Structure 1
Amino acid sequence: MSGRRLGTVQYRAETVISCAQNGEDILLNRALNGRKDGFYVDIGAGDPNWDSVTNWFYRIGWRGINVEPNPIFCETLVRFRPEDVNLNVGVSKAPDILTFYQVHANELGHGWGLSSFDAGSLGRAKAMGLRVAQIPVSVLPLQQIVDTYCQQRQIDFLKIDVEGLEATVLSSLDLQRTRPVILCIEAVEPFSAVPAFAEWEPMIVNAGYELGIFDGVNNFYVREESPEVLVQLNAPVNCSDRWRKCTPVDFDQPL
């Protein structure tokens, strides 16, 4: 960060039912003033319930685009997010069909997060004794996805979790033309605390975004034209944020 920004963090009165793995939804809800009608783009959406950054937002009225190359997760997204755009594709610099390394979880449910277009995930998964299927999956540039499906809606936040291919995704989006208010991007190597943003952070900063906070897993960047949002990231998730962790019961209950 460039230093502490002047301003008061405004905590929300409502209780967030957080399904995100690391409390990302709590930070985003605070930063975006608890709004009920926003729009998100989720690259590497994963399961629509467990560890989902967008679950809370969909439940309170947001809608968006979920991009998920794993067909198993995408089928679940279609079932639980009928009012979202759910795309069983990956993101790359040009339209193509690439090999996707689909990692199958072990009996404890661990391992799905290693699935990737990065061949390195194959070695990591095998080292953990996990089964890997190699399947062909279509890929599209992110700008093409936005132009086709956003219908000129403002993107309130863009979340990117693509297991090491963040630079590829970001380079396929024109951040001068498409200006999400917040970028939430995984900034460490998979299953580690090793920083992994040196390659792609300069393109974000050069596009007029400032780092708001690092939460231990993700970097949150805010566009320069939204300083009031940046101030709300002065503090990490804490006891003044009203929230509770989701349970399986929440997935079947309306708010």
Structure 2
Amino acid sequence: MRAFADTMNGYFVDVGAADPVLANVVKNLSEHLGWTGVHIEPDPNFADRLKNAYPGDHVVQAVVGARAGRAEFFEVDDGWLSTMDPVRAAAYEDEGRTVNSRVVDVTTLDSVLHSVGARAPIDLLKIDVEGTEPDVLAGLSFETWKPRVVVVETTTTTPRPGAANCDDLLRAHGYTHTLFDGCNGFYVAPGEPREFVEALSVPANVFDRYAPVIWFLQLDEDQRPPVRLAPRRLT
């Protein structure tokens, strides 16, 4: 929100969108700045909720990978941690989580974007697919879609960057790594202005005057503070 505060009617692609509110990266962009885009989510319950919450957007229920085909998909608990990574799925099972597997159709991000008539450039591409983020990026034509900002989960089940590391691929396309927030890597396309890069180099903090939505929702309605868009300005 800090970087895009002056970008009205922008365009996003959210891969692994999950809940339309909790931990959702694009909700404020949509609600406050009029953004539209594509939500990609394999879980049918999340997909239905996204369709209800964003009726003007494209919601695609699909599993996305490096190439089209068939693959084993591991559904974990309530859908938040579902993955195509068998190592991660086994680790979740060892933790006592419920893991069910099924063979599913896999498509590429390019195919999804072409099928819905997505527009380029994409202002924000966010990817959170629990371990196979590099495969998602491998199925994207950067020359066609030109994402300005890529936010990608780079951790496994700990706060350390793990196997889902897209750094080399993104740097090969000229992207600058601006921030690791403990869970995600933030990358900015070549040619963006210095002020834009700086705005994505600092995590959300007290100067942004924000409250996590999970705290906000725990308050009784008459105790909730008014919500104001007041992103921090670095200049």
CA distance in 1, matches of 2:128, 2:118: 23
Maintained 8 Å contact 1:63/1:83? yes
State percent identity of aligned pairs. Answer: 30
Task: Report Cα offsets for 1:6-27 as digits up to 9, x if no partner.
Answer: xxxxxxxxxxxxxxxxxxxxxx
CA distance in 2, matches of 1:148, 1:34: 29
Task: Report Cα offsets for 1:48-99 as digits up to 9, x if no partner.
Answer: 1111111212222211101111122112111222111111101112222332
Paired residue secondary structure (2:101): strand
1:175 is matched with which residue? 142
Maintained 8 Å contact 1:93/1:168? yes
CA distance in 2, matches of 1:103, 1:199: 22
Paired residue secondary structure (2:42): coil
1:38 is matched with which residue? 10
How many residues align? The count is: 217
Moved over 4 A (4+): none
- Given candidates 28, 51, 57, the residue that maps to 1:78 is 51
CA distance in 2, matches of 1:56, 1:193: 25
CA shift at 1:176, angstroms? 2.8
CA shift at 1:114, angstroms? 2.2
2:124 is matched with which residue? 157
- Given candidates 100, 104, 108, the residue that maps to 1:137 is 104
- Given candidates 14, 17, 22, the residue that maps to 1:50 is 22
Cα distance, 1:123–1:234 mapped onto 2, change above 3 Å: closer
1:67 is matched with which residue? 40
1:104 is matched with which residue? 77
1:122 is matched with which residue? 89
CA distance in 1, matches of 2:89, 2:205: 37
> Unmatched 5+ residue regions in structure 2?
230-235
CA distance in 1, matches of 2:163, 2:9: 31
Paired residue secondary structure (2:144): coil
Q: TM-score, normalised by structure 2?
A: 0.83
CA shift at 1:198, angstroms? 7.7
1:211 is matched with which residue? 177
Question: What letter matches 2:114 in structure 1?
Answer: D
2:233 is matched with which residue? none
1:94 is matched with which residue? 67
1:243 aligns with 2:215: no
> Unmatched 5+ residue regions in structure 1?
1-28, 106-111
Question: What letter matches 2:27 in structure 1?
Answer: N
Question: What letter matches 2:59 in structure 1?
Answer: N
CA distance in 2, matches of 1:50, 1:198: 22
Question: What letter matches 2:115 in structure 1?
Answer: T
Q: TM-score, normalised by structure 1?
A: 0.77
Cα distance, 1:199–1:161 mapped onto 2, change above 3 Å: closer
Maintained 8 Å contact 1:69/1:100? no
Root-mean-square deviation (CA, aligned residues, Å) is 2.3
CA distance in 2, matches of 1:243, 1:40: 22
2:192 is matched with which residue? 226
